[in-house]
Amino acid sequence: MFLKDYISDVYNGVASLLKGMRKTGYYFTHSKEIITEQYPDNRATLKLADRFKGEVVMPHDDNNEHTCTGCTACELACPNGTIKIITKFDITPEGKKKKAIDAFIYRLEMCTLCNLCITACPSDAIKMVPNFEHSVFDRSKLTKILNKPGSKIKEGIE
């Protein structure tokens, strides 16, 4: 039926438009929904989203141990050469040689925060943190070494 289709078209169109308007009308009348952060003013109480990505860091525990094995999966995964891993060989107490990282070099100025290194990491050694105040006067300061001095790999991580 042509006429029936026509009328149901009009009805469905109007109904879907009203649905959209209900949502925006709800937002208009509910000021608690506003998500704007007035950044420099509320720096102390800033609330960032959980998935906000600002910088790659390597978490260390209390014993200054990390979980990076130096496998270079992140270096290979990085699309623009942000990460450079320099490895060394530690001598274990048993006298065996073991591969470990000397320096995990991370160039923040080249990073697009794409998260590919995080997903590539087999031992969850690196993660994204919501730091975003990266302004510095010299860009060499943006080249960071993520493993802390004197840190070593956690026991049992291969």
Site residues for another protein per CB under 8 A: 9-10, 17, 20-21, 23-25, 27-28, 31, 33-36, 38
**In the complex with another protein, which residue's Cβ is closer, 22 or 96?**
22
**In the complex with another protein, which residue's Cβ is closer, 30 or 96?**
30
Q: How far is the CB of 6 from another protein (least distance, A)?
A: 8
Q: How far is the CB of 132 from another protein (least distance, A)?
A: 19
| Structure token pair of residue 20 | 């959209």
- Residues 34 and 27: their CA atoms lie apart, in Å, by 8
Q: Is 69 left (phi over 0), alpha (psi -120 to 50) or beta?
A: alpha
Q: How far is the CB of 46 from another protein (least distance, A)?
A: 15
- Residues 33 and 106: their CA atoms lie apart, in Å, by 37
- Residues 134 and 144: their CA atoms lie apart, in Å, by 12
Q: How far is the CB of 131 from another protein (least distance, A)?
A: 24
**In the complex with another protein, which residue's Cβ is closer, 48 or 136?**
48
**In the complex with another protein, which residue's Cβ is closer, 39 or 89?**
39
Alpha helical stretches, state H, 33-154:
73-77, 116-120
